[in-house]
Amino acid sequence: MTQHHASYSPPRAMFTPDHELYRSSVARFIADRIQPAHAEWEDAGMVPRGLWREAGEAGLLLPSIADTYGGGGGDFLYSAIVVEEIARALVSGVTGFTTHSENVAPYLAEFGTPAQKQSFLPRMATGDVVGAIAMTEPGAGSDLKAIRSSAARVDGGYRLNGQKTFITNGYHADYVLTFAKTDPSRGAHGISLFWVDATSPGFSRGRLLDKVGQKAQDTAELFFDNVFVADDMLVGEANAAFGYAMSGLVRERLLIALRCATALEVALEWTLDHVKQRRAFDKTLIENQFIRFRLAEIKTHACATRAFVDSCLAQYLAGALTPDGAAMAKLWASEATRAIDDLMQFFGGYGYMREYPIARAYTDVRPNRIYGGSSEIMREVIARAL
């Protein structure tokens, strides 16, 4: 649990001793408070609400939001550490922590009013308020401009109608950052962003969705039936949300790439341990040339993935990572996790048992090729920049 790098990875010079101290504290919280009960939470379909407050107290929430607003005040590397340690420990039930901290809070921090920031960010940092982000709809996924949810202007605010699906933190969320069309005639340039109180009349949650993996992560459908949203809960400018989303996607896609790079490394570590011990036909599995050679390829792929993703991380820290660069990082790293299928194969029947981490890696890492923009969309983003 305290191993910070796979044995074949070069030192990651951008992480200072302070970063590594934080990494150790995050890893310790995960080992002590999350891993022991994670299997039970998978059965329940969610983690306990109280865990959010514990995570806030331990400094896992909003690590790179300014301390002026109750955040950790760290740089983006602190965010990267939380993402990586959750991936390393395979506790996919708390990936919502990073949705809350890295996908929701930055919109408020960057585009929110002073009152919105002062009111909500400190409570998000403590875990007293849980945030979700609602883009995806039954008929609109990677194509944000195709959303049908609408917000009509009324006296003092808007009336919001629509449906969202696949919403991470959908069950626990106290507030939902919601994309809706306010000027349908303008297409992508007629979408606005609202901070919706989940106690509002007309807001309701559907069932917890039964996913292939990430079973402890509460994922739900959300419904908006004539929900009133006051003017002071509009985030940023009216009709400007598409541009906000495009800027936020660089960060989101880089974080997904970091998650995938770590997931592939640790899956390889587990498999190497296994094949060095497991025997078949009077020899260990690693003595089989096919297995040994395939593992050599995967190790090389994992090293290349880490080098590329960390290069993109350095670019992001320097303010130089482009949208197509982030798309390349996400495409490469998420597609690299296809190798987990082969790693699972080398466990034989045990690899198909969820009590073995490799089985959960196989299911829980899979959505990274879909959310944050599917691999197909990533290819389109990259191609447009050629």
Give CA–CA dist 218/170, Å, rounded.
6
Which residue has tokens 């997904």?
256
Distance spanning both ends of the chain, measured CA to CA: 42
Q: How far lies 30's CA from each of 65, 267, 350, in Å? A: 21, 18, 25
Other beta carbons less than 10 A from residue 349's beta carbon? 7
Q: Are 99 and 252 in contact (CB under 8 A)?
A: no
Beta bridge partner(s), residue 230:
157
Give CA–CA dist 266/272, Å, rounded.
10
> Between vectors from CA 240 to CA 238 and to CA 246, what angle results, nearest 5°?
150
Give CA–CA dist 4/27, Å, rounded.
9
Candidates 210, 199, 350; CA nearest to 275 is: 350
Question: Is residue 252 annotated as a catalytic residue, yes or no?
Answer: yes
Q: Are 124 and 132 in contact (CB under 8 A)?
A: no
Other beta carbons less than 10 A from residue 265's beta carbon? 22
Which is the catalytic residue, given 221, 252, 265, 269? 252
Q: 349: which 2 tokens?
A: 């029947």
The set of catalytic residues is 252
